[in-house]
Homo-oligomer: A and B are copies of this chain.
């Protein structure tokens, strides 16, 4: 299963992605987590140290290696298990989770990230996964990765939103772009919901089929995004709510 997490800047994409990835690992999945944002922070929130992250080679550099191994470009990338040794070189393992990053930080005024996005799109689109493998992409803020088609080939696009007008506007643009990309399933999750007014704001704007979950504003989640590296998933009623949302994303029980 290939899942991308999108939404406006600051809505909580990365904290959500990190917790979701840890939950998938707990459920027995092998998770390939890709930080698709050049302004990367998923690795940090997963608790990987700065030194390790700095040394990690970006996946855009895998392109030639994989194409050599598989013979020619445009090929499918059966990442698992045929090229596992390449993967090892380009990822950091945290238990059953493998962390990748899309690209290096470039010099000021030198270049865009079109090449990186283009390879990531080819990779995601043509990945052949084992039954227990899940790929999670933490997308950059905003819409450009969707207009570039980076998310092409994902099975589910999860859009995180705050209960604010500008954040919801971004969701609506992303929904339209996802439709144009032919992404089969697009779901919305409300985050940082402080009260019933906030919840109503979101429920008035999305159908119950679109809006599959509401996450309350939580100091615990805020702390996770500030003091990074916690390996403990939220417990109590917040934990139950989150687990229910994760289950809905992967359509647990429908299989």
CB within 8 Å of B: which residues of A? Answer: 8-11, 14, 37-39, 41, 44-45, 105-114, 117, 140-144, 146-149, 152, 162-166, 169-170, 173, 176-181, 225-228
In the complex formed, the residue of B with least CB distance to A181 is B108
Asked whether, in the complex, the Cβ of B143 is within 8 Å of the Cβ of A105, the reply is yes
Q: Which 9 A-B pairs have the closest CB atoms?
A: A10-B10, A9-B9, A109-B149, A108-B180, A9-B141, A39-B142, A141-B141, A108-B177, A41-B166
Check A148 against B112 for contact (C-beta < 8 Å): yes
- Does the CB pair B166–A108 fall under 8 Å? no
Oligomer copy total: 2
Closest to A177 in B: B108
Q: Do B143 and A142 have beta carbons less than 8 Å apart?
A: no
Partner of A178 from the list B108, B112, B225 (CB cut-off 8 Å) is B108
Q: A8-B9, A111-B148 are in contact. List 8 more A-B contacts (CB 8 A).
A: A9-B141, A38-B147, A39-B142, A39-B170, A45-B166, A107-B180, A109-B147, A164-B226
Q: Closest residue of chain B to A114, judged by CB?
A: B112
With a cutoff of 8 Å between Cβ atoms, the chain B residues found around residue A107 in the complex are 147, 177, 180
Contact in complex: B143, A39 (CB < 8 Å): yes
Cα distance, A75 to B114, chains bound together (Å): 28
How many whole Å from A56's CB to the nearest CB in chain B? Answer: 15
Structural contact, B39 and A165, CB atoms closer than 8 A = no
Task: Decide if A228 touches B165 in the complex (CB within 8 Å).
Answer: yes
Interchain residue pairs with CB less than 8 A apart (22): A9-B142, A38-B142, A38-B144, A39-B141, A39-B170, A41-B169, A41-B170, A44-B169, A106-B147, A107-B147, A107-B180, A108-B149, A108-B180, A109-B180, A109-B181, A112-B147, A112-B148, A141-B141, A163-B226, A164-B226, A165-B227, A165-B228
